[in-house]
């Protein structure tokens, strides 16, 4: 396996000896990209270009950093530079086209976000008419409801890498959307001194890691509450399994199982990092559109006992952001490129 953290150390040592070498900064930028330290990757790529404006890989690295940080317009400018210099570079052209498509989609999303007549996918579904075939032997909701038996059966079914019937998946999505839409943007909870809550970070489609968490720490229950702090999907191959399991527990224990939105619960990240493709492969494009709607209703932060504040990002670009400012955010949308909602989801260190 490639040890990128070690590579960062070696390039850092080389930079100390020769701080004017653009290639060292470009290579360290790549190592930072591989370790998902996107802010540092951006800083190094920018420094490489300050040292040598003609260093083409610097534009490439900076574009990749901007993409990972959700700064798609800035990424597009750098990819444009690469394509102009190397018009026959297939990889550069592909990345430019992908980025251009995302920039156009973001503009479209901004336009429809303000449309009060936007129709929900839920309105186009007829779940009752969906039939579960006789040969399907997997878990089913009991009278349309999630139960503990259903959840234990579901996890076992998923452990065997089998697919939940689409009717059950749609039932979970429709119901969890209803539950999430009733929640405030900032969820406020109280714990007694004798109570605890387990906070979990990114799961990124790693279903077997999720099972391991429950095996080590116990299944969610009213006496064993959890907060999953965003980035449930993308990258891993079992994002559908992870998110439907989490949504199932949210329905089972709405007051004791909490889900907060991360920057990967967004359309652009899902396009780039695999969740959209996974949902379309396992189910349909219509189901991905419903996932997108549900993600928009995920709360952005949680405050415990007025003392502990939990959010996926939260290093605000402006000083003085208050809990009241968070409460007032209208979250039912794709995140903007800047402002408190963006900052709550994104917080990679970046050069100012």
Question: What residues are annotated to the active site?
Answer: 264
User: CA quadruple 187, 275, 98, 86: dihedral positive or negative?
Assistant: positive
76's CB contacts (< 8 A; 6+ apart) are: 63, 96, 99, 100, 103
Classify 54 as helix, strand or coil: coil
For residue 227, list its beta bridge partners. 199, 258
For residue 196, what are its two tokens? 């605890």
Please tell me the distance from the alpha carbon of residue 331 to that of residue 303, in angstroms, as a whole number.
17
What DSSP designation does 304 have? E
> Which of 110, 64, 89 lies closest to 272, judged by CA?
64
3-state secondary structure of 259: strand
Strand 308-311 vs strand 301-304: parallel, antiparallel, or unpaired?
A: antiparallel
d(CA 211, CA 299): 24
Cβ(177)–Cβ(122) below 8 Å: yes
Alpha-carbon distance of 196 to 94, in angstroms, equals 48
* Alpha-carbon distances of 274 from 16, 158, 240, 277, 308, rounded to whole Å: 38, 19, 11, 5, 33
The answer to whether 79 touches 96, Cβ cutoff 8 Å, is yes
């Amino acid at each position: 396996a490639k040890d990128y953290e070690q590579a960062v150390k070696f390039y850092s040592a080389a930079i100390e000896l020769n701080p004017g070498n653009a290639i060292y900064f470009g290579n360290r930028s790549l190592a930072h990209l591989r370790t998902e330290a996107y802010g540092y990757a951006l800083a190094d790529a920018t420094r490489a270009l300050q040292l040598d404006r003609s260093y083409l890989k610097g534009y490439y690295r900076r574009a990749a950093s901007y993409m990972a940080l959700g700064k798609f317009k800035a990424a597009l400018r750098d990819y444009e530079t690469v394509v102009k210099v190397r018009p026959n570079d297939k990889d550069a052209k592909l990345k430019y086209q992908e980025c251009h498509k995302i920039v156009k989609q973001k503009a479209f999303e901004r336009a429809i976000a303000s449309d009060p007549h936007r129709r929900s996918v839920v309105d186009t579904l007829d779940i009752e008419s969906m039939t579960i075939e006789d040969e399907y032997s997997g878990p089913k909701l009991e009278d349309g409801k999630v139960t503990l038996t259903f959840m234990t059966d579901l996890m076992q079914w998923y452990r065997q890498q089998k697919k939940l019937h689409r009717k059950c998946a749609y039932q979970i999505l429709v119901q969890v959307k209803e539950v999430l839409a009733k929640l405030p943007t900032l969820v406020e909870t109280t714990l007694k001194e004798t109570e605890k809550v387990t906070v979990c970070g990114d799961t990124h489609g790693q279903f077997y890691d999720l099972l391991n968490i429950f095996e080590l720490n116990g299944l969610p229950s009213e006496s064993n509450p959890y907060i999953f702090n965003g980035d449930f999907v993308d990258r891993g191959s079992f994002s559908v399994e992870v998110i439907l399991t989490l949504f199932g527990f949210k329905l089972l224990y709405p007051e004791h199982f909490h889900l907060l939105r991360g920057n990967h619960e967004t359309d652009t990240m899902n396009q780039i990092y695999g969740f959209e493709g996974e949902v379309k492969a396992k189910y349909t494009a219509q189901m991905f559109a419903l996932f997108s709607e549900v993600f928009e209703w995920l709360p952005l932060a949680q405050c415990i006992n007025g003392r502990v504040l939990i959010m996926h990002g939260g290093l605000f670009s402006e000083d003085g952001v208050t809990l009241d400012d968070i409460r007032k955010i209208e979250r039912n949308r794709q995140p903007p490129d800047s402002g408190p909602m963006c900052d709550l989801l994104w917080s990679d260190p970046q050069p100012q």
